[in-house]
Structure 1
Amino acid sequence: MSDRIRLPLAALAGLLALAAPLELSGFWLQTGLFAMAAAIGALGLTLLVGVAGQLSLGHAFFVAVGAYGYAFLAGTGAGPVRGAGWPPALAALGAVALAGLAGALFSPIAGRLRGIYLGLASLGLVFLGQHILTNATALTGGFNGRDAAPFRLFGFSFTATDPELVVFNVPFGALERLWYLGLLLVAVSWWYARNLLRGRPGRALVGLRDSEIAAAVLGVDVRRYKAAAFTVSSAYAGLAGVLLAVAFGRIVPDSFGFLLSIDFLAMIILGGLGALGGAVAGALFVTALPLVLNHYSDALPFLAQPGEAGVGAAEAARLLYGTAVIAVLLFAPGGLAQLLRRISRPRSASHEPTTTGIGGSAVPDADRM
């Protein structure tokens, strides 16, 4: 897509996103916040799976580390569930660091495995995490979960009050304030990932995906870059977990199970492996679809209501985006990013614009992701 088209569209999308809290209801703001958190996690998984070619089924574990890390570090420790009492902003940074550290600690295992064996090893983290979250009640609250402290930055609280805030006669409560925090975090996450891909580290990660032997011959420290990929991806997941904890207000172990890891994989496959913009679009689709179907289930006759036999909103959403994943793999392996390039490129173009990474592989230009 040319700059003459892409830049105005990006500016329009940015203006609409900034104005959204003035018009949208609480449901849509909450859905948007969940989608933003998912987009951050999907960007991290794209760097690991789509760019570096390291299969991971344990992304939900690192999201849980970020969410529970924030809840613990920012918690007051009153009652049976402990907390460190850190300022929320510092607790958020600490939670992201904890998630990144968890990825770094797993990287020696990742350095010895590849393909499906690496995926199965990472899947073990999810089951280990579920056991810890359910049984370490003093830290996690056990099966019932624990509350997450409201976010506060430089004395400004992301709650309904403290201080009172009205913009164009619209009261700005917690959701409206968190909306802008989420937008900022998504923008910074995308900017960092884009610059990473455009530099030497991005080319090295592409080389790992294409051929570890060829990358090593060209001077790439394979184990070091594998460790870096897992660390950065896990830190992204931790940031997604922090935003989820703040948006939910309360977190429970069931939210970070195996299905969440599958959802993240669906996001990056639908968006297109290695495409940053596609990861964001895939996150929006996979996150919003079940929430929207559930919200409008009364008006959709083909959906069964809770307690009734038939296909409910959650099952219908999984069927729909499961079908979408199969369709993408069969007809558009490049995902939504590939479809958008096909629509936007001139008909006379004989091929999609690409850049060449280590090992001679063709990867999408970072500016087009």
Structure 2
Amino acid sequence: MSDDRPAGDDRSTKTATPRPDTGTGPPETGESKTGGQGIGGPGTGPRGPRRRSAAVRGAAAAGALVVAAALPFYLDHFWLNLGLLVAASVVGALGLDLLVGHTGQISLAHPFFIATGGYGYTALASDGSGELAGAGWPTALAALGAIVLAGVAGALYAPISARVRGIYLAVASLGLVVLGQHLLLNLTDLTGGYDGRDAPPLNFFGLAFDDGGGDLLGVPFGRVERLWYVALAVAVAAYALYASLRNTRPGRALAAIRGGETAAAAMGVHVPRYKAAAFAIAAAYAGAAGVLLALTLQRLVPSSYEVEMAFSYMAMIVIGGLGSPLGAVLGAAFVTSLPILLRHYSDHLPLLAAEGSGGLSAGVAAQILYGAAVVAVLLFARGGLAGACRAALRPRRRPTATKAGIR
């Protein structure tokens, strides 16, 4: 067989030799497959910005906790009581957002579970010496028992939540609120009926959370100041539990259920079991919120747990941003504090009239404002307040020079 290649073509016998390094080529990047280091050395690769962002978030959270811990030394009782109400709403909103925003189960039963926690704590902690029943438990144990009781109530409702979904689940859960009102008004030996009953003050290992406390660093430290730290600890624990649950296998399973129950079941997720667990956890969160409300208000009445509370909590998570723990915190702070602040400053704000005068009261104005906020979020900012904050704090990338622009 003849060779048809031209003379001097020896491609079959020669191999490519590496070009010597003359120092004029592009520098070594040192980037590994794992994305560890980039051109600038350690910390400038893809993982560097993530680590710096996590460090910034951790430093901001630590700073916020330090500031929150110092507030009782500087604020008066109005602002501290407002903070306690916000903390209770934060805990309840986190539980509802876990159920609605993260799992996709629409529930309006939160007032029932909040009432279960509040009245459960009051009944377990009261000594029963008066006309109303009481178990006489230590108050710290009664608080834990009330949270467990609310979680059990949510677990008992789980078979219904596992069978229905969407608007049908919302209507079915609203029936729990109606049932709760009937029980609160008729179980007079336990709840006190229309007049309600007083909640015993917390006593934690001999430390009484009442108004008989002494001074600390020259500042009177009574019930509100001491209860501030309890509410802060409970709110931080509730936030940390929700935030950590999202990145676990059960959290991803709950997110898969939100995306579609059929697809989640095809991936091996036991849908009824996880839906029941989500409902029980959300109910336990609501029970903790009920205990904090009972300790803050010191008296429970059935009218506090009506349907209006259900829509208020739904507004919290929608305004804050569904599926975001930060959104639940921001939405709870907005919806809870707005009517109180409007009522507090009604004498200095135009167009607001006194309660019962027939004009635009602070409570009605607050409902109009956060109703408008819900509409604005649905139309213009699906991420809610949390999404707006992330967009505002996100650093803007500078335009990079391209080869076409460098000539």
Q: Tell me what 1:273 maps to.
A: 322
* Distance of 1:96 and 1:78 partners within structure 2: 24
Q: Distance in 1 between matches of 2:174 and 2:277?
A: 19
Matching of residue 126 in structure 1 with residue 177 in structure 2: yes
Counterpart for residue 111 of structure 1: 162
Structure-2 separation of matches of 1:79 and 1:88: 17
Structure 1: distance between partners of 2:356 and 2:62:
45
Between the aligned partners of 1:151 and 1:342, the Cα distance in structure 2 is 41
Q: Scaled by the length of structure 1, what TM-score is found?
A: 0.92
Q: Which amino acid aligns with 2:160?
A: I
Residue 192 of structure 1 aligns with which residue?
241
Query: Residue type of the partner of 1:268?
Result: I
Equivalent pair of 2:355/2:362 in contact (CA under 8 Å): no
Q: Larger helix proportion, structure 1 or 2?
A: 1
Query: How far is the alpha carbon of 1:159 from its aligned partner?
Result: 1.1
Q: Match of 2:61, as an amino acid?
A: A
Alignment of 1:240-279 (within 5 A): 240-279=289-328
Deviation at 1:8, TM superposition (A): 3.4
2:141 and 2:386 mapped to 1: Cα distance? 36
- The C-alpha deviation readout for 1:161-200, integer Å capped at 9, x for no partner, is 2xx3322200101000000100000011111111111100
Deviations 1:299-325 (A, max 9, x none): 113111123221101001111111111
Alignment partner of 1:90 is 2:141: yes
The residue that corresponds to 2:105 in the other structure is: 54
Q: Which moved more, 1:126-135 or 1:187-196?
A: 187-196
The verdict on how the C-alpha distance between 1:167 and 1:220 changes in structure 2, with shifts beyond 3 A counting, is same
Counterpart in 1 of 2:30? none
Matched pairs, number? 348
| Higher relative contact order, chain-length normalized (CA < 8 Å, sep 6+) | 1
Deviation per CA, 1:264-291: give whole Å up to 9, x if none.
1111111110100110111011001111
Aligned pairs for 1:205-216 (under 5 A) are 205-216=254-265
Contact 2:98 2:242 survives alignment (8 Å):
yes
Equivalent position of 2:375 in the other structure: 326
Give the share of equivalent positions with the same residue, in percent: 54
CA distance in 2, matches of 1:294, 1:226: 40
Q: Is the 2:201–2:210 contact (alpha carbons within 8 Å) kept by the matching residues of 1?
A: yes
Structure 1 residue 154: deviation in Å? Answer: 1.0
2:22 corresponds to: none
Q: Which amino acid aligns with 1:186?
A: A
C-alpha distance in 2 between matches for 1:172 and 1:157: 11
Task: Structure 2 unaligned segments of length 5 or more: list them.
Answer: 1-49, 400-407
Larger Rg: 2
Per the alignment, residue 39 of structure 1 pairs with 90
Q: How does 1:172-321 map onto structure 2 within 5 Å?
A: 172-321=221-370
User: Residue 169 of structure 1: which of 212, 215, 218 is its match?
Assistant: 218
Which amino acid letter does the alignment assign opposite residue 159 of structure 2? P
**Runs of at least 4 residues off by over 3 Å:** none
- Aligned mates of 1:326, 1:4 — CA distance in 2: 35
Name which of 43, 46, 59 aligns with 1:8: 59
Corresponding letter in the other structure for 2:75: L
Structure 2 vs 1, CA of residues 222 and 349 (structure 1 numbering), >3 Å: closer, same or farther?
farther
Alignment of 1:333-352 (within 5 A): 333-348=382-397
